Structure 1
Amino acid sequence: MIVSALTSSSNILATARESDRALKAAISRLSREVARSADEEAVAELASLLSIASPHHVRSDEVLRKFGLQMGRGFSFWSEILLNRLASRSGGQSPVGLALNPKLRGYRFADLLGVRRPEVSDKFRLADLPLLPNTIIKPESGTGSRGCYLWLAPDTWRYVRSGQTLQGSSRLYDHASALMDPEGREKPIRDRWRYEELILEDPDNGVPARDVKFYAFYGEIAFGLEIRRDRETQTRHFLPDNNETIFPLTLKRNSFEGLGASKDELASIKRISKAIPAPFMRIDMLRSADGLVLGEFTPKPGTVAHFTPEWDHKMGEMWRHAQARLTNDLLSGAGFQEFKQATCD
């Protein structure tokens, strides 16, 4: 089996290298032909090959600029995220946006910007954690909704990740304790917990706030993600300007007819985004009965590797344009004082 796998890998590697050389040579040949004659068939053939090309396949961008052609893999949101991670692991500086990842820093930043956010407690060990009405229990650090418990009624909690209802404090403590087990299937959660104010969309009926998460590129919004958890978990991606439902992920999702975001809300998100000296930040909000409330900042979304090729390209292009705008603002003296003050510890 091992020999077979190695042979297979070797064949794949040889085929990939040959295809790589062939693609580079064909693009070079067609580029020269198009530059000489501007033949429509040659332009169309070149465009077809460029749709699967990366920058190392192209020796000159002159023809691309002249005929408005693009490389299908020239821009990539996933590549930008991945390269940032690799650079920081190889001794480079961590991406600036990570400074807002800790919840309390993000809340401090929101306070400085005058953005509403939930009230939050100090840290507790699980055994000492108070179980209070109208609160959410969360680990100090975690990913997604793992370890998050939503108060539903006296002595009744919902585990947000699965939708499971837990009756009684002992069941909640047992469930949370299992998440801290070093022998469990997933990385154990540290025994550091907080509770925070429960934001409700419909206080009269106890309907929890839906998530409204914005993929923001230094003042520009690609789209929003709306998540409703009052019954089963339902998700919906929407364009910010017209509330049109889109499907940017290769993953299948249970969509619904959502509320989107108002012009004032979008303006607020853009203002927050431009106060962060990073080309990308997902700004996660909660929809309360009287408007959006900050949830958290997410510099590395969990679904980042699952966008369709079209959206991965579009967001990669938005990243590069955002980086250029950010650089110009920094050269013009932008101070980002709120960000510096919030992250100075």
Structure 2
Amino acid sequence: MQPSPISRLRARLLGSKITRLEKENQKLRRRIYEQEVTSPPPLPEKQPVELERVRETVRAARREGTLFELAADIALSRQGAGDYFREAMLEALKQASGEGEAAEDRMRHLLLPSFTASELPERFVRGIESRDVPSLEPIASFRGQLTSRVRRRQKGHQLPEWVVDDKQKATRFASDLGLRVPEVLKEKTPLKELPLQKGTVVKPSSGAGGRGVYIIRSEADILNVKTSGLLTSTSELKELMHEDLNKGRVAEDSWTVEKLYYDDESYGPARDIKCYTFYGKTVLILEITRSPEIGYCWWTPEGESVNTGKYSESLMQGSGIREEELEAAGRLGGALPAPFCRFDFLRTTEGLVFGECTPKPGNYDQFNEKIDTALGEAFLDAEERLFQDLLNGATYPHWRNLL
């Protein structure tokens, strides 16, 4: 049956209208896709009340004997949600590509921060061989790089920075490079033979994070470095050191006793200066005071204070950084064939004193995304400088003397 003239007219009018609307829609989509690329708005910060509610839910599961069941459900839910989100974002990129390279690149820019390097679909880097795709900087990660180094250590790879994780070797390394090192009174001594006397610092022969470190200002004034708690007798100190061993806070009954150094400003215990150094280039510095209460301040090498997301509840104003500290960290980092190591010092009345080398800083996952990305980029740059120096015949004699 042939459509009537009225039906054909209606179809023509509607078809014309639909065609016109489609063209307007295409223009609108083109304008949207061609807008200047801007960063997505920042996500709202986590609310402490909500985070505490989550933690309490997990603690309650432990009390009820369902901790592992809850953890399994959480892991499965996160994995499933991650798969869905990944597919949705990949489909968004595919759809944007239909609008041209500019739209596809805008979508890449928008979605990149949502991926880790291991999650990133190949499509996001497709075309890098023939043209400039948007920067992959958002997926550079200090967390990822350090975790990868830990995996390599687990596989038995020789990682140069772990050689100087040994406190005795680290001290020799620093001394050979002309740095002042702490005066050691006892090394690798069991607790029952340990002299506990005023004016000394007791620490595990191996360990990190301040666990098992005690400053003995007098027999009745002993500072627990990890907690900033005060002990009032050496017998109390011995009890706590036994507890450190029994609870695994300290791995073995082997202790070192060093001379106590004092801060050149407050004449309390010397403040710590911890330099995050990437093959000779320090990118981040942490200043710590231990007394009368613990305080932290983060610095850039230019001397600007910076928020890193770590120790936010205990920040202090700080007294700044000094050129000799940057120079000392740079000297150590440049003599070590590794892309990253943290170098710890004491700022004392006797000048800068070397503390230790830390290849894996504690809680490195707590940096905010901005700092994690910046340190991740610094790690990649350091790897390239190291590679070029190795190609050009660098030998690292001070490090080799430790092998």
Q: Report the Cα distance in structure 2 between the residues aligned to 1:3 and 1:265, rounded to whole angstroms.
A: 49
Aligned with residue 305 of structure 1, among 324, 344, 365: 365
Structure 1 residues 9 and 151 mapped into 2: Cα distance closer, same or farther (>3 Å)? closer
* Partner residue in 2 for 1:288: 348
AA matched with 2:276:
Y
TM-score (norm: length of structure 1): 0.87
Q: Distance in 2 between matches of 1:29 and 1:8?
A: 31
- Tell me whether 1:331 sits opposite 2:398 in the alignment: no
The counterpart of 1:15, out of the listed 75, 81, 92, is 81
Distance of aligned partners of 1:238 and 1:8 in 2 relative to their CA distance in 1, 3 Å threshold: closer
The structure-2 alpha-carbon separation of the partners of 1:7 and 1:340, relative to structure 1 and needing over 3 Å to count, comes to closer
Structure 2 letter corresponding to 1:22: A
Q: Which has the higher contact order (CA 8 A, sep 6+)?
A: 1
What secondary structure is seen at the aligned counterpart in 2 of 1:200? coil
- Are 2:207 and 2:250, in contact at CA under 8 Å, matched by a contact in 1? no
Which of 183, 188, 191 is residue 119 of structure 1 equivalent to? 183
Structure 1, unaligned stretches of length 5 or more? Answer: none
What pairs with 1:39-50 in structure 2 (closer than 5 Å)? 43-50=105-112
Matched-pair contact (CA < 8 Å) for 1:275–1:336:
yes
Kindly provide the amino acid, as one letter, of the partner of residue 53 in structure 1.
Answer: F
Evaluate the alpha carbon distance shift between residue 306 and residue 271 of structure 1 in structure 2; reply closer, same or farther with a 3 A threshold. Answer: same
2:36 corresponds in structure 1 to none
Aligned partner of 2:85: which letter?
S
Q: Deviations over 1:122-147 (max 9, x none)?
A: 32221111123321011212231111
Cα distance in 2, alignment partners of residues 232 and 262 from structure 1? 23
- Give CA-to-partner distance per residue, 1:289-335, whole Å, 9 cap, x none: 24321111111011211111111111111111100100100111111
Matching of residues 135-154 of structure 1 within 5 Å = 135-154=200-219
Contact 2:278 2:379 in 1 (8 A): yes
Measure the CA separation in 2 of the matches of 1:266 and 1:3. 49
Tell me how far apart the structure 2 counterparts of residues 57 and 267 of structure 1 sit (CA, whole Å): 41
Aligned equivalent of 1:224, options 277, 280, 285:
285
Root-mean-square deviation (Å): 2.7
The answer to whether the 8 A contact 2:187-2:256 is kept is yes
28 and 112 in structure 1: CA distance in 2 versus 1, 3 angstrom threshold: farther
Equivalent in 68, 92, 100 of residue 164 of structure 2: 100
Cα distance in 1 for residues equivalent to 2:244 and 2:236? 13
Among all aligned residue pairs of Structure 1 and Structure 2, give the percentage whose two residues are the same amino acid. Answer: 29
TM-score by length of 2: 0.75
Structure 1 residues 131 and 18, CA gap change in structure 2 (3 angstroms): closer
Once the 2 structures are TM-superposed, how far is the Cα of residue 175 of structure 1 from its aligned partner?
Answer: 2.0
What is the CA-CA distance between 1:154 and the residue it aligns to?
4.7
- Describe the SS at the equivalent of 2:354: strand
Contact 1:202 1:208 in 2 (8 A): no
Q: Offset of 1:160 from its aligned partner?
A: 1.5
Consecutive unaligned residues of structure 2, counting only runs of 5 or more, are 1-65
Residue in structure 1 matched with residue 322 of structure 2 by the alignment: 262
